Amino acid sequence: MFRRIAPIRIAPIVFALILAGPSVAAPSPADDDVLAGYRRYHAGDKEGAQHDFERLVAARPADLPPRFGLLQVLEDRSRETRALEPDFERQMEAFLDAAEARHNRSGTDDEALFYLANGHLLRAMYRLNHNKGIWGAARDGVRSKRLTETYLKRHPEHGDAYYALGTYNYYVEIAPAFVRVIRLFLFLPAGDRAEGLKQIERAHMEGSLFAFQASLTLMEIYGAFEGRPADGVRIGERLAREFPDNPAVQFELAQLYLSPAVEDYARAGEQYQAVLTREERRAVARPAKYQAQLGLASALLQQWRVEDGIGVVSATIEAKPDAPAWVMPSFLLRRANYRALAGAAAASDDVRRVLAEPRWKDRHKAADDLLKWMERRRASGESAIYAALIRGNRLAAERRWDDAAAAYEAVRRDHPDDPQVRYRIAALQFTRGEIDRAVSAFSAVAADPKAPDWIKAQALLYVGRAHDLAGRRADAKKTYERIVDDYEHEGAARAARVGLVTPYRRP
Q: What is the CATH code for 258-380? A: 1.25.40.10
Question: Cα–Cα distance between 461 and 473 in angstroms, integer?
Answer: 13
pLDDT tens series, the chain, 507 aa = 444 333 333 333 333 333 434 334 444 434 789 989 999 999 999 999 999 999 999 999 999 999 999 999 999 999 888 889 999 999 999 999 999 999 999 989 999 999 999 899 899 889 988 888 888 888 898 899 999 999 999 999 999 899 889 988 898 888 777 776 555 555 678 889 999 999 999 999 998 878 898 999 999 999 999 999 999 999 999 999 999 899 999 999 999 999 888 889 999 999 999 999 999 998 888 899 999 999 999 999 999 999 999 999 999 999 999 988 999 999 999 999 999 999 998 899 999 999 999 999 999 999 999 999 999 999 999 999 999 999 999 999 999 999 999 999 999 999 999 999 999 999 999 999 999 999 999 999 999 999 999 999 999 999 999 999 999 999 999 999 999 999 999 999 999 999 999 999 988
Give the residue from 412, 439, 415 showing the smallest Cα distance to 427: 439
Q: Where in the chain is the domain with CATH 1.25.40.10?
A: 258-380, 383-501
H helices of 400-490, in order, are 401-414, 419-431, 435-446, 453-469, 473-486
pLDDT for residue 9 = 32
The burial class, CB within 10 Å (0-12 / 13-18 / 19+), for 195 is middle
Total H helices, total E strands in the chain? 26, 0
Fold entry, domain 14-226? 1.25.40
Compute and round to an integer the Cα radius of gyration of the chain.
Answer: 24
Fold entry, domain 383-501? 1.25.40
